[in-house]
């Protein structure tokens, strides 16, 4: 078994209990109701699905159950601006390997501003760049959203870590997403494990990753070419004029 075949987090299970209220969110989500066990890839696992399918809800619950701050950051981040996460994490059983990560980070695109603010406060009592070196050497608030996301991977992720990312492409241009693919590969080759919820057909193309679809309320492994992200993007690019005419009801 090679170094990269040893994952930190092997599987996620739902602890079915009699007192669980399956009519209350998020247990009311079809994908959660039929969740028994998800086997994770030792390197990269992608969660894909339509908005509201439950992929980000489960990803967040995995992060919190592992000990990460619900709004993002490392396991050392304890701030809270508003409790918006569900209690799903309490009903999850994480199957861990004997190997423990040396680093870790939970990235939530929608609350990364709060993480950046907490980083500022942590840095206030240190030398100008002591704490910010891990984020590109300057305040995250002084970087564009895309710069801060990419610098996070390039400078903060130290390797041999468990990294849980919720829609990291949200602030990235297509070219920056390609840069992220390179950074992702460097981390994987350095012994890191990723769990990523994404809509990006570029990120999903990462070779040999496991892709779990949440669509139609059914959790199933799919191939890259079977994802709607791939097929719809490919069809649109190859037939964009015809699609625009149908969608916008316009004929030049």
pLDDT tens per residue across span 172-188: 899 999 999 999 999 99
Higher pLDDT, 97 or 146: 97
CB atoms within 10 A of CB 221: 13
What is the rounded average pLDDT for all residues in the chain?
82
* Torsion, CA 10, CA 47, CA 208, CA 112, rounded to 10: -90
pLDDT band at 152 (very low <50, low <70, confident <90, very high): confident
* % of residues, the chain, pLDDT over 70: 76
Q: How far is CA 173 from the centre of its chain?
A: 17
How far apart CA 29 and CA 34 sit, in angstroms, is 9
Higher pLDDT, 189 or 140: 189
**Is residue 161 over pLDDT 80?**
yes
How far apart CA 39 and CA 94 sit, in angstroms, is 10
């Amino acid at each position: 078994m090679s170094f990269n075949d040893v994952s930190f987090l092997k599987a996620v299970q739902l602890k079915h209990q009699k007192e669980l209220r399956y009519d209350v969110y998020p247990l009311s989500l079809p994908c959660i109701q039929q969740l028994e066990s998800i086997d994770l890839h030792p390197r990269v696992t992608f969660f894909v699905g339509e908005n509201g399918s439950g992929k980000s809800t489960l990803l967040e619950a995995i992060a919190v159950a592992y000990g990460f701050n619900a709004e993002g950051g490392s396991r050392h981040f304890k701030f809270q601006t508003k409790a918006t996460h569900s209690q799903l994490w309490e009903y999850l059983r994480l199957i861990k390997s004997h190997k423990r990560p040396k680093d870790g980070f939970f990235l939530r695109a929608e609350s990364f501003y709060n993480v950046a603010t907490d980083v500022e406060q942590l840095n206030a009592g240190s030398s100008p760049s002591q704490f910010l070196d891990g984020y590109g050497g300057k305040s995250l608030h002084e970087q564009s959203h895309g710069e801060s996301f990419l610098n996070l991977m390039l400078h903060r992720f130290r390797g041999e870590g468990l990294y849980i990312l919720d829609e990291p492409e949200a602030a990235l241009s297509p070219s920056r997403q390609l840069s992220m693919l390179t950074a992702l590969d460097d981390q994987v080759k350095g012994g890191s494990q990723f769990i990523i919820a994404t809509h990006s057909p570029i990120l999903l193309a990462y070779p040999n990753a496991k892709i779990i679809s949440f669509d139609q309320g059914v959790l199933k492994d799919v191939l890259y070419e079977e994802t709607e992200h791939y097929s719809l993007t490919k069809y649109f690019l190859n037939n964009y004029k015809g699609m625009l005419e149908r969608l916008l009801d316009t004929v030049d």
